[in-house]
Structure 1
Amino acid sequence: MLSGLKASLTESASRCRTLYDRKRFRQGKLFVVSAPSGAGKTTLCSKLLENNKALRYSISYTTRKPRFDEAHAADYFFVDVPEFRRMIDEGEFIEWAEVHGNYYGTSRRTVEGIIDEGGDVLLDIDPQGARQLKATLGYGVYIFITAPSIKELEKRLRNRRTEPEDVMRLRLDNARKELRLFSEYDYIIMNRDFEEAYKHLESVYIAEHLRTKDVRDIYELMEEEE
């Protein structure tokens, strides 16, 4: 049964990619994913991007220092505070926020450019940024990911071994506040088991491409008669 479901999901995803390639939709879609630290959203988003080539990731700007396994222009655009403030003043961000003592922002030009061309955009941002986007844009698919418990969040954060104790405690305190915002999202995914959580995430992506309001012409979806 599971193998059949997986095959069906794969076939549906392939169908969605075909529809995208033929540019049968009015415009691209924006997928916004948020989660408290330790929920596993980055890994889930990475797999979604890997398996769905029509989806593009919008790399955020941040003033925090890169971790040992992060690269500039791949994971984030790492900039200093004066440069970030300049970008704010010049309206280059579609949203920005201060999180855990650092600034994060999303490029307006990148997001709007991809969507206008008919592409899909994935944003991995905090709830502050998601709230800004929802108010500013008025569109998008908003997905909240969480771990099964605060205890599990703490365990995952400690297993990273990438941050000092004070930063970790700040992330946990913020996580409790962020969890209260789940109702502002369209979907919630519990990341108890990675494969199950991923199945749910891709199901959302597939379903959002099957909405009738996004189809230009029903005949474009039908096979041509011979």
Structure 2
Amino acid sequence: MMRGKTFIISGPSGVGKSTVLSALLEKRKNLYFSVSATTRDPRPGELDGIHYHFMDAESFRKWIAMDQFLEYAEYVGNFYGTPKRFVDEAMDKGQDVILDIEVQGALQVTSKRPDTVKIFIAPPSWKELERRLKDRGTDDPEKVQKRLLRAKVEFQTAHTYDYFVINDTVEDAVRELDAIITAEHCKPKERMSVLAE
């Protein structure tokens, strides 16, 4: 059995990553979506191990000291991180792992695991991204502008990724992601190692 691979998906807020990833997870059954750990309190309806792995700050700091995270960050007084253990367990079972993380987290992961495949998801245009952010109805106009500004900063790192997917339609984006995962498993190094056994 071939070991699974890790795929990082990054992209600006409002680009539609959640929608695309849930459709991809429906299409490819052998995918494991990495659940982050956090020290923030669960919100109503959130379940431990499904939405997040909820931890207290002391335990989280211990895990940092023991190098138990592929990446972590502190945001608004709470820690968030990707536990290595669950990623490795899924890969050992032959599952591919999807990490939905922003560009700083992606840098941390690839510095530890250079063979991680990085995919940047972009909007078809800035105008469309602005429309999607406004249509969500979750942010006031000032917050929308801040998100657009942040998106432009994130976009400057897109050329460092292995693949660039434009989310024009969910179907096209999912088809491209699916093709990328298949292509990554068709590389000679991986295929020939199986033959050698």
| TM-score, scaled to structure 1 | 0.74
Structure-2 residue corresponding to 1:149: 125
Query: Hey, what does 1:159 align to over in structure 2?
Result: 135
Q: Does 1:192 align with 2:168?
A: yes
Offset at 1:88?
2.5
Corresponding residue of 1:137? 113
Matched with 1:173 is: 149
> Shift in Å at residue 32 of structure 1?
1.0
Q: Mean Cα displacement is larger for which, 183-192 or 203-212? A: 203-212
- Alpha-carbon contact 1:34-1:145 (below 8 Å) kept: yes
Quote the offset at 1:156 in angstroms.
1.6
Percent pairwise identity: 42
1:91 and 1:173 mapped to 2: Cα distance? 33
Quote how far apart the aligned CAs of 1:174 are.
Answer: 1.7
Q: Per the alignment, do residues 149 and 104 of structure 1 end up closer, same or farther by CA in structure 2, a change over 3 Å counting?
A: farther
Partner of 1:104: 80
Q: Which runs of no fewer than 5 residues in structure 1 stay unpaired?
A: 1-22, 221-226
Amino acid in structure 1 at the alignment position of 2:23:
K
Per the alignment, residue 207 of structure 1 pairs with 183
Structure-2 separation of matches of 1:166 and 1:201: 32
148-157 vs 126-135, greater mean Cα deviation = 148-157
Equivalent-residue separation in structure 2 for 1:103 and 1:165 (angstroms): 28
1:55 aligns with 2:34: no
Q: 1:144 to 1:94 in 2, by over 3 A?
A: same
Q: Could you tell me how far 1:144 is from its partner in structure 2? A: 0.4
Distance (Å, rounded) in 2 between the aligned partners of 1:219 and 1:173: 50
Instruction: Give the one of 87, 110, 116 matched to 2:92.
Output: 116
Q: CA deviation at 1:203?
A: 0.9
Contact 1:100 1:170 survives alignment (8 Å): no
Residue 63 of structure 1: how far off its partner (Å): 4.9
- Whether the aligned pair in 2 keeps the contact of 1:100 and 1:171 (CA below 8 Å) is no
* TM-score calculated relative to the size of structure 2: 0.83
Question: Do the aligned partners of 1:67 and 1:162 also contact (CA within 8 Å) in 2?
Answer: no
SS of 2:118's equivalent? strand
| Alpha-carbon displacement from aligned partner over 1:80-117 (angstroms, at most 9, x marks no partner) | 65554443234321111346876431001111222234
Deviations 1:153-186 (A, max 9, x none): 2222222233456654443322111000001110
Deviation for aligned residue 1:141: 1.2
Unaligned runs of 5+ in 2: none
The alpha carbon displacement at 1:212 in A equals 2.2
2: CA distance between counterparts of 1:219 and 1:109? 28
> Between Structure 1 and Structure 2, how many residues are aligned?
196
Flag the 1:161–1:101 CA change in 2: closer, same or farther, 3 A: farther
Greater CA drift, 116-125 or 181-190: 116-125
Equivalent residue of 1:213, what SS? helix
Q: Give the stretch that moved more between structures: 148-157 or 98-107.
A: 98-107
Give the partner amino acid of 2:89.
Answer: G
